[in-house]
Amino acid sequence: MGIKVRNELREHIFDNAKDVDDKSFPTRYSEPYGSMKRAGLLRGQDAASRSSTAPFVTGNLKNDTMFRNPTKRSVEVGWAKSGGKIKALSKMSRVLTKPSQPIPKRIIKMLTQMVRKESKRIVKVKYPDGKVIRLPIGKK
């Protein structure tokens, strides 16, 4: 589940260039930065970032998006090394996460569907006398 959520988050932010509120990232840059970005002249610049408004130049932020601490009931998804970048982007109206909504609603919906699918299992309980009881687990 963690890998799927991480991949969906990467796609949402970096490929679709949308923030946590599902809005496109602003296209305004300072004139020198904007012209250098479009020309591909920034240090370590990834070729895909030239025409994108997504918050990446080198790809480091995208590659730093990861999951950790998976359990049966939860998984953490975030940025291991780039906390400062996330805060700086937020100040520039490029909100990747926030306390009131840590991940986009589309991904929350996907997670809900995954959990429902997993929880609609039927558990078989077999007693020593050979009797079998089937117990549905989860919502109907």
Segments making up each domain of the chain, as ranges: 2-136
What whole-number distance in Å separates Cα of residue 94 and Cα of residue 86?
Answer: 8
**Alpha-carbon distance values, 124 to 83, 99, 102, 115 (Å):** 46, 40, 37, 20
DSSP letter, residue 70: -
Look at residue 11 and give its three-state secondary structure: helix
What whole-number distance in Å separates Cα of residue 135 and Cα of residue 140?
Answer: 12
Express each pLDDT in 65-112 by its tens digit: 888 877 766 778 888 888 889 899 999 889 998 888 888 999 888 888
- What integer pLDDT is reported at residue 73 of this predicted model? 66
What whole-number distance in Å separates Cα of residue 110 and Cα of residue 94?
Answer: 23
Contacts of 22 (CB under 8 A, 6+ apart): 104, 105, 106
Q: 105-119 vs 2-10: helix axis angle to the nearest 10?
A: 160
Express each pLDDT in 24-57 by its tens digit: 998 888 899 888 988 888 998 888 888 889 888 8
What whole-number distance in Å separates Cα of residue 1 and Cα of residue 11?
Answer: 15
Contact 44, 56 (CB under 8 A): no
Look at residue 94 and give its three-state secondary structure: coil
Tell me the pTM.
Answer: 0.76
